[in-house]
Amino acid sequence: MFEFEIKEKSQKTSARIGVLKTPHGEIETPVYMPVGTQATVKALTPEQIKETGAQIILSNTYHLYLRPGEEVVSGAGGLHSFMHWDKPILTDSGGFQVFSLATLRKLSEEGAEFQSHIDGSRHFITPEKAIQIEEALGADIIMAFDECAPYPCEYNTVKSAMDRTHRWAERCRKARTREDQALFGIVQGGTFADLRKASAQAIADMDFPGNAIGGLSVGEPKPLMYEMLNETVPLLPEGKPRYLMGVGTPDCLIEGVMRGVDMFDCVLQTRTARTGLALTSRGPVTIRNAVYSRDYEKLDAECGCYTCRNFSRAYLRHLVNTNEMLAGTLLTLHNISFTVQLMENIKEAIRADRLNEFRHEFYIKYGIEQ
């Protein structure tokens, strides 16, 4: 049910265009996946998400396990029918969320005991339990349960987390029972090149249908993240999709693709929209600022999304500053549409083998130092 085929390659970079086949449709990569943490991309209906051009969305196992519970979702026929989304879905294992609760959890070789951030109730998730929850949720792509070390972190602590991630990955692989879900392994290793290499090789050797790179974009400088990608990506199987977790700023998307990454997700697009920040081809726009009070131009002259086709900056500023719900919807529509279109532009540049030139031109317009 799962196939990944590379259609085109850049001659000057490690970028490639591929097609990932899933039970709920094909995904052309490289792809940005909007985040629908609690079985909803905040502020949008499924039809509006489709209008952005999104091919796949991501939901969160940790949050859905706590509310409403995987049994409720399974009883509805799985996530696709529960949230009325007929395209592919990816669920992460909840590992990052569990391990971000540093003061509320306790680790052992068996699993992670943690306290709910909602009501304080105690829970225990093992790799086997994580797979059981993800299988009940029914996404097309599911993730192994991993231990994500914080940044900064001492070498021995990162190595211990990496080794446990490998052991847990094997347990996840053995626990898996559904053939209609693709289980991805996750590379860890923090910001230590030797650990990244060791983890990439270990996860690659487990022969998952796809491989993710975790533990980055957690506070480290971007150049250091790129350095870790340089060490990691070449060791992952070329014929399988590579997924960089939690990364979605425009510059990081371009840099990731140039290094051979195929899949990305990030909450930036939705979270910033709810604060009144818009991503545009000329850089981020804080639309609540007074300078836009009589600006009747559209948000982004190069964008053809619903928001840009119909509303001015002045109107959007009015909505944001009066706390109207529509502000979040219109800006979320735009931010996701902008990012999806950026990925399409990247693919066009790969086909023309001018990704380096595209990067240079985009950085100048967006206001990013090179």
Structural contact between residues 304 and 51, judged by C-beta atoms closer than 8 angstroms: no
Give the orientation angle of helix 193-205 with respect to helix 155-175, to 10 degrees. Answer: 10
Query: Beta 122-125 vs 112-115: how paired, if at all?
Result: antiparallel
Task: With beta carbons less than 8 A apart as the criterion, state whether 351 and 17 touch.
Answer: yes
Of the candidates 136, 125, 207, 204, the residue with the CA atom closest to the CA atom of residue 174? 207
Report the candidate in 186, 210, 260 with the shortest Cα–Cα distance to residue 88.
210
Q: How many CB atoms lie within 10 A of CB 346?
A: 24
The question of whether 92 is a catalytic residue gets the answer: yes
Of 369, 250, 68, 268, whose CA–CA distance to 79 is shortest? Answer: 68
Report DSSP state, residue 242: E
CA-based nearest residue to 54, from 343, 278, 362, 275: 343
Bridge-based pairing of strands 242-244 and 210-213 is parallel
**Maximal C-alpha separation, the chain:** 61
Nearest to 188, CA basis, from 212, 210, 204, 167:
212
Q: Which of 294, 287, 280, 235 is nearest to 259 (CA)?
A: 235
User: Measured between alpha carbons, how far is 322 from 325 in angstroms, rounded to an integer?
Assistant: 9
What is the distance of C-alpha 19 from the center of its chain? 18
70-74: Cβ within 8 A, 24+ apart: 70/132, 70/133, 70/136, 70/137, 71/136, 73/39, 73/136, 73/137, 73/138, 74/136, 74/137, 74/138
Q: Quick one: which H or E segment has residue 284? A: none
Q: Which of the residues 92, 140, 146, 300 is marked catalytic? A: 92
**Catalytic-residue membership of 251:** no
Is residue 118 classed as helix, strand or coil in its secondary structure? coil
* From 140, 262, 265, 300, active-site residue: 265
Residues with a catalytic annotation lie at 92, 265
